[in-house]
Structure 1
C-alpha cells in the first residue's frame, strides 16, 4: 500500500511535485510541534551556547512548520478553485527544506560522520514531499481557451459596469431625479444586453470598444453638466441629453444584435434574458 502511494506521487500525471495531487484534508502540522519537546532539555543545559542553540533550532523548526501550514492552505484554495494561478512563493517546498535542515543539524550534534546526517536530512526532505507534496507548479484552468475567454470577458464586463456606476454617481450629484432615472434606464439597457452574452465566446470583446465609446460620450455630457456655473441643468440641456442618450443606446443595441449578441437563440429567448437582466439591475439599484 505504501509503495503504491509512493509510486502514484511520482507519476507524470499525478505528481505531487507538479502540484496535481490534492493535499490531505487533515494534516496535523500543529501536532508536529511536539517534536521539539526534547529540545527543551537544551534550555536546562545551563550554558549560554546550549540555550542559544535550542532557541535557534526551535525557531527554525517553527518557521518550517509555519511555511508548511501556509502552503497547505494555499494548496486547498488552489484545489477548490476552478481557475487559479500557481502560488508565487513555494511555501511547502521552503518548509520541507527548513524541516530537513533542522533534522540534519540535530543529527550532526550526535553523529560524527557528516555523511550520515546528510542522508538523514535528505530522507526527511523526501518524507516531507511524500507527506505534504510540493506547491502547485502550473496555472490551473488558464490553458483552456474557453476559460481564458471567460476570464477576459468577466473583467471587461466588470470594467464597463464600474464605468456605468461612476457615471450614475456623478449624475446623482446634480440632484435631478428625472434625468438620473432616465439615464439609469438607458444604462441598464446596455448592461442588460451585455449580460445576455455567453462569456465563453469572444462576442463581448468585439462589442466592448463600442460600449466604451458610448460611455465616453455620455461621460463628457455629464461632466459638462457638472461644470456648469450654477450647477443646474436647463430644460433644453436635459432634452438634448436624453435624445442623445436614447439615440446612442438604440444604435448600440442595433449594432450589438448584428454582431451576434443573440446568436444561437431565438428572439423570444433573447428578450426574456434582457427582461430578467433589467429587472435584476433595477432590483439591485
Structure 2
C-alpha cells in the first residue's frame, strides 16, 4: 500500500473513497484543501459486505480479495490526492471492514472536514446522489464537501471564484465566514449570492431590492474587514435560491452553503436548498456545519 497508518497528531480532512471516479476526485480535491489549510489528510475505505440474508460467513479467500481490492482503492486515492497536495501534506490511510457510513460519521467528530464523491460505485447517472453522500452531509459533526463531476483542482477551475449562499440565518453566516477564508486561501474573488424570495415568475416590488442589497452588505461587513484582500461580487436575485445558486456553481470553483437556511424548521437537518444543491451543483459543494474554518 502506498502510504500507511500511524500518525495521530493534528485534525485531519477525512475522505471516504471506494475506487469510483467521483471518490477519486474527492481525494484530489481534499488533497488541495489539506495543502491550503495546512491539515493532514486521511483516506478511508471500507471492505464491508452489504447485509445479506442467511448466516453465511465470508470465506477466507473472499476476505483476502476484499482486502486486496481495498488496498488498490487506497493506492489510487493516494495518487489522486498527492497530485494536488504536493509533498508537504501528510497522508494516512485506513482500510476497515466496518460499514462506511457509520464509520465516517464516527470520524467526523474528530475531523476538520469530510469529503466524499456525489455518488459511488453504485451510481448510475451524474445527477444521482448516493446514499453515502446524503447521509454523511445530513449527520456529520463537521463540514462536508461533496464532489460531483469536476474536482475544481485543474488550472482553469482554480482561477474561478468561490461562491456562497447567504440568507442571514446563523448557518449561512457561518458559511459566509468560511467562504471568505476559502477565497483568501485560494487567492480568488468571492461571489456572495442572496436569492431573497422563493417566489418566481411574479412581478415583485422593485423598491425591495435596495433593502436586500443593504442587508447583504451588512451581513458581509465583518468578514470583509477580516479579509480585506478578498474581492467580493454581490448577487441579489428575485428567484428560488436553489436555482440561483445552481446557476452560479457553473462559474465557481467551490460553492459553500450552510446546512439549512432561515426557512428550515429546527428539527430539519438539511434545508431544501441544500438538498437540491447536493443533486444539482456543478462544482464542489461544501456544506458547513458548526464553526467556520478561518486562516
Alignment TM-score, normalising by the size of structure 1: 0.27
Q: Which has the higher contact order (CA 8 A, sep 6+)?
A: 2
More strand by share: 2
TM-score by length of 2: 0.26
Hey, which of these two has a bigger chunk of helix by percent? 1
Larger Rg: 1
